[in-house]
A = this chain, B = another copy of it.
Amino acid sequence: MKLSELADRIGAQVVGDGAIEVTSCAPLESARPGQVSFLANAKYSKQLESTAASAVIVGTNVLAERVALLKTKDPYYGFSQAIVALHGYRKHPFSGVHPRATVEATATVGERTIIYPGCYVGSRARIGADCILYPNVVIYDDCVIGDRCIIHAGAAIGADGYGFAFHDGLHHKIPQIGNVVIEDDVEIGPNCTISRAAMQSTIIGKGTKIDQSVVIGHNVKIGPHCLLVAQVGIAGSTTIGHHVTLAGQVGVAGHLTIGDKVSVGAQAGVMNDLESNGIYLGSPAMPFAKARRVYSVFTELPELAKRVRELEQKLEQFSADDPGGIV
């Protein structure tokens, strides 16, 4: 592809020779001639002096002489479009439902949806159009998957929620008569598990992207355009707003409400409702500014303990020096 053609495709402006051929994408430090790279941060523009890339996608304020530039407001997004343009998404070795996938007779599968070997789609489940189910994905009965969803290997959608009634020393299984509803444009990483609702639906909102080995309890409702990073766990009946980010290994207790545009840092433990637009860290999760202060004291606790000891000694010394004294 000519560089000028790529520039058109990604809505960037060429600075340099638009007639050169570009064939693929690579990081700045390993790019070879014919490759396109990108500079996420103008701060590192020195790397432009040494890269062997033929062209670099940069922000609008970056200059360079020895390499062609594609200027765009959002170079990271521009680069992602360049990868799409030059490499495209995965080509599948077959189309439709692979003969080694099992789709129950009462389930429906949308047009152009790809279902890999080893997948199982249960009774009355509905899979939308243009989805990809990678090998060994399991969709339990009655679950609903929207259009353009991608579900990676080994994910299990709609297994029974963890619902038991304790009676006479035994845990009695409560039939989980709800389902899971995955809205459009959701991606779910490998080996994730999303439990079906006890009654009604567990819901994953449109455009939400879920990383590997994430666990979602029954009756959870996740809004649109969230990011749930690897190993996140969300307990039953919690509701999460839109554009929420939960970083890796975050745990969220059950029956909570998390607002919109909330970010929670890695390994945090959310035990209370969280207000919209906040950033939270720590276990238990606290607002960002507070958590920063708490952990800064925490990691210096031995120093604090020493200072308390010194205060005690000073006061004791004072007492000793002032035997008839007032302390």
With the chains together, A98 CA to B297 CA distance in Å? Answer: 58
Copies in the complex: 3
With the chains together, A174 CA to B165 CA distance in Å? Answer: 42
Residues 226-268 (chain A) with a chain B CB within 8 angstroms:
227, 229-231, 233, 235, 243, 248-249, 251, 253, 266-267
A19 within 8 A of B: no
Contact partner, A301, options B79, B200, B298, Cβ 8 Å: B298
Chain B residues in 8 Å Cβ range of A27: 199-200
Chain B residues in 8 Å Cβ range of A116: 120
Contact partner, A212, options B120, B162, B190, B322, Cβ 8 Å: B162
Pairwise interchain contact B156-A152, C-beta atoms closer than 8 A: yes
Contact partner, A302, options B26, B150, B249, B290, Cβ 8 Å: B290
A251's nearest neighbour on chain B, judged by CB, is: B249
Pairwise interchain contact A251-B251, C-beta atoms closer than 8 A: no
Contact partner, A175, options B90, B171, B193, B311, Cβ 8 Å: B90
A177 within 8 A of B: yes
A280 within 8 A of B: no
A146 within 8 A of B: no
Pairwise interchain contact A156-B298, C-beta atoms closer than 8 A: no
Contacts A177-B25, A267-B283, A294-B299 given; does A217 touch B230 at CB 8 Å? yes
With the chains together, A77 CA to B165 CA distance in Å? Answer: 5
A293 within 8 A of B: yes
Chain B residues in 8 Å Cβ range of A213: 191, 193, 213, 215, 233
With the chains together, A204 CA to B53 CA distance in Å? Answer: 28
With the chains together, A190 CA to B140 CA distance in Å? Answer: 11
Contact partner, A321, options B79, B308, B326, Cβ 8 Å: B326
**What 0/1 readout, one digit per residue, does chain A (267-284) give for beta carbons within 8 Å of chain B?**
101010000000000011
Pairwise interchain contact A301-B294, C-beta atoms closer than 8 A: yes
Chain B residues in 8 Å Cβ range of A83: 174-175, 177
With the chains together, A295 CA to B267 CA distance in Å? Answer: 17
A20 within 8 A of B: no
Chain B residues in 8 Å Cβ range of A311: 308, 311-312, 315
A59 within 8 A of B: no
Pairwise interchain contact A315-B314, C-beta atoms closer than 8 A: yes
With the chains together, A305 CA to B76 CA distance in Å? Answer: 42
Pairwise interchain contact A170-B225, C-beta atoms closer than 8 A: yes
